[in-house]
Amino acid sequence: MVQILNTNALSLITQNNLEKSHAALSNAIESLSSGMSTDSAHADAAGMTIASRSDSAVHGVPSAVVYTEPLFEGNSQILAPGRYDSSDLTIPDDSISSVIVPTGLRVTLFEHAGFTGEETVIQSDTDALGAIIDGTASAVVVEMI
């Protein structure tokens, strides 16, 4: 006697993906409910803001943080007071989209390397540079005021 076994491959794939999603969701809920910190600014932008301010306060030097995406997301670089030309920045050139500026600091963004071109002065947290200078900053000066 011949037996025929039918399988639904798409159903098996969907079930596997559902199990993976459920496991990831359970892990995220467990992390949030236990108070464990998240591992990236993308997962917790507000936490990164607080952490960067706390870190700079512990070291006694306030620092600005520049991000490649609006709303303090994407790649970031912490900048203590100083001058940072395009070669000094670890984030891609022309990619700054949001900036955290602690009280007592001023950040000046320059359109071109060598601290030339249009400049924009920022003295408070700016979550979306938008039409101001979004994506065109190649040099940064962080100063205490």
Q: What share of the chain is helix, strand, coil (3-state, %, to 5)?
A: 30, 30, 40
Q: b vs e for 31-50, b when ≥16 Cβ sit within 10 Å of the residue's Cβ?
A: eeeeeeeeeebbeebeebbe
pLDDT score for 45: 53
Give the mean model confidence (pLDDT) for residues 109-125. 92
pLDDT score for 142: 96
Work out the number of other CB atoms within 10 angstroms of the CB of residue 82.
11
CA neighbor of 69 nearest in space, from 103, 88, 87, 45: 45
CB neighbour class for 14 (10 Å; exposed up to 12, middle 13-18, buried from 19): exposed
pLDDT score for 43: 53
pTM of the predicted model, to two decimals?
Answer: 0.59
For 27-83, what is each residue's pLDDT tens digit? Answer: 777 766 666 555 555 455 555 555 555 555 445 678 999 998 888 888 999 999 999
Most confidently modeled of 7-21, 43-57, 91-105?
91-105
